[in-house]
Amino acid sequence: MYQVDLKKPDGRKLFLYSNRPIPSGIEPTNPEGPGNKAEPHMRWHPLRGEWVTFASHRQGRTFLPPKDYSPLAVTKTKDFPTEMPQGDYEVAVFENLFPSFRLGATSAPELSVPTKPAEATCEVVVFSKDADETLGQLSVERIRLILEVIGQRSKALGEEQKIKYVLPFENRGVEMGVTLHHPHGQIYSYPFVPPVPERMMTEMKKHWDQTGNGLYAQMIEDEIKDGRRLIHREKGAVAFVPPCARYPYETWVSPERPVSYLSDLSLDELDSLARTLKTVILKHDGLWDRPQPYLLVMYQAPYDGEKHPEAHVHFQIYPPYRTKDRLKYLAGTELGAGTYINDSIPEEKAAELRDIVVAPFGLGEN
């Protein structure tokens, strides 16, 4: 992996990556926005025991622009600078122009509940210069590069003293709240371990203390042995619909070897993981012969200075559709009680995905 570190005219960081050497002389560009001047803050929710972040400047962020006017398109003229400079590179990462968290934020109001500046980071990961390519349509080689980048950026962010957790994710489709169609993901870091991964880590630690084995590794072993919910398996990587799926087509993808962080995987393991991710996304797209909206989120161990042998890095994919034309809405019991109701059976949905045939592809093929 080749990398070039740059700084945008407004002072935000820009990182360029490629599987081939990146020529020198690339000039960073940026559109106008709050950037390094944003002042997000957090307020404590006393009933839920968790932080809520407030970033009112995000109301003005770019919303579903035409493809030629996307801030994630490559800059064509100096009159319309975008986030993407001209040059020979494959993947770009930069600090969000409208951040929900910002290292260096200094202000928070005095209220009846505890408050503090939202000091962490929000980075954008642009997968491709081509606005029409989805993650599943990219070559295995490009997906592997993206995984390398996510692992490297997660590790770098985790070395910041104030960062305790790093969460990479991709929102795909307007159904999932996408405001820019150009293929991209995001890497959020937090000055605390957020409630969802915190709860998962608690259960993983409990299982580890009781058995000396990883909880997620046990689930993989059980799914391979059972086979009914298995979707795809490569050498070193596996994908399945979990028996506890909260969404009809929810899918988990992971390396088989338990590692705490994505950066712990070898290139061969990243290659297998990239193949599995690509296969799974193409199977989802093949369900109804259209791009499947989803939230794809990656869970890993906290960056708290402790060792976490109980952790097992993995991806969870949440598609919002329960049928071709019906969305799974989060309503009273999900939002009000935190208890999910699944209107389908995981074994049946796994069989549907497993039966989708994906054409063979090589390392550099789309």
Kindly state whether residues 33 and 166 are assigned to the same domain: yes
pLDDT confidence of residue 242: 98
Full domain range(s) for residue 252: 196-355
* Residue 116 token pair: 């503090």
Please give the mean pLDDT across all residues of the chain.
96
Kindly state whether residues 126 and 235 are assigned to the same domain: no
pLDDT tens for 248-307 read: 999 999 999 999 999 999 999 999 999 999 999 999 999 999 999 999 999 999 999 999
| CATH number of 74's domain | 3.30.428.10
Q: Is residue 303 part of a domain?
A: yes
Task: Give the span between the Cα atoms of 59 and 57, in whole angstroms.
Answer: 5
Q: Is residue 361 part of a domain?
A: no
Kindly state whether residues 153 and 214 are assigned to the same domain: no
Task: Give the span between the Cα atoms of 82 and 105, in whole angstroms.
Answer: 24
Percent of the chain's residues with pLDDT above 70? 99
pLDDT tens for 23-34 read: 999 999 999 999
pLDDT confidence of residue 68: 80
Domain boundary among 194, 223, 250: 194
Residue 366's pLDDT band (boundaries 50, 70, 90)? low
Asked if 186 and 124 touch (Cβ cutoff 8 Å), the reply is yes
Q: State the average pLDDT over residues 141-155.
A: 98
Q: Is residue 360 part of a domain?
A: no
- Residue whose tokens read 């794809």: 296
Residue 360's pLDDT band (boundaries 50, 70, 90)? confident
Question: Measuring CA to CA, how many Å separate 103 from each of 14, 43, 169, 219, 353?
Answer: 15, 17, 20, 37, 42
For residue 67, pLDDT over 90 is answered with: no
pLDDT confidence of residue 365: 65
Kindly state whether residues 232 and 298 are assigned to the same domain: yes
Dmax over CA atoms of the chain, in Å, equals: 62
Q: Is residue 362 part of a domain?
A: no
Residue 8's pLDDT band (boundaries 50, 70, 90)? very high
Tally of domains within the chain = 2
Q: Is residue 262 part of a domain?
A: yes
pLDDT tens for 74-90 read: 999 989 999 999 999 99
- Whether the CA torsion 304, 252, 238, 133 is positive or negative: it is negative
Q: State the average pLDDT over residues 91-115.
A: 97
> Side-chain half-sphere of 204: how many Cα atoms within 13 Å?
23
Kindly state whether residues 222 and 168 are assigned to the same domain: no
Nearest to 139 by CA among 232, 23, 271, 235: 271
pLDDT confidence of residue 361: 83
Kindly state whether residues 58 and 140 are assigned to the same domain: yes
Domain boundary among 150, 172, 194: 194
Kindly state whether residues 168 and 234 are assigned to the same domain: no
Q: Is residue 364 part of a domain?
A: no
pLDDT tens for 198-219 read: 999 999 999 999 999 999 999 9
Q: State the average pLDDT over residues 225-241.
A: 97
Kindly state whether residues 186 and 283 are assigned to the same domain: no
Domain boundary among 194, 221, 256: 194
pLDDT confidence of residue 364: 65
Q: Which helix (H) or strand (E) is 285 found in, with range?
A: helix 267-287
Kindly state whether residues 212 and 324 are assigned to the same domain: yes
Nearest to 138 by CA among 249, 7, 278, 29: 278
Kindly state whether residues 165 and 218 are assigned to the same domain: no
Supply the DSSP string of 336-359, one letter for each residue: IIS----SS-HHHHHHHHHHS---
Kindly state whether residues 329 and 282 are assigned to the same domain: yes
Task: Give the span between the Cα atoms of 251 and 10, in whole angstroms.
Answer: 39
Q: State the average pLDDT over residues 37-65.
A: 96
Kindly state whether residues 244 and 150 are assigned to the same domain: no
For residue 308, pLDDT over 70 is answered with: yes
Q: Is residue 224 part of a domain?
A: yes
Q: For residue 79, what are the contacts with CB-CB under 8 A and spacing of at least 6?
A: none
Q: Is residue 341 part of a domain?
A: yes
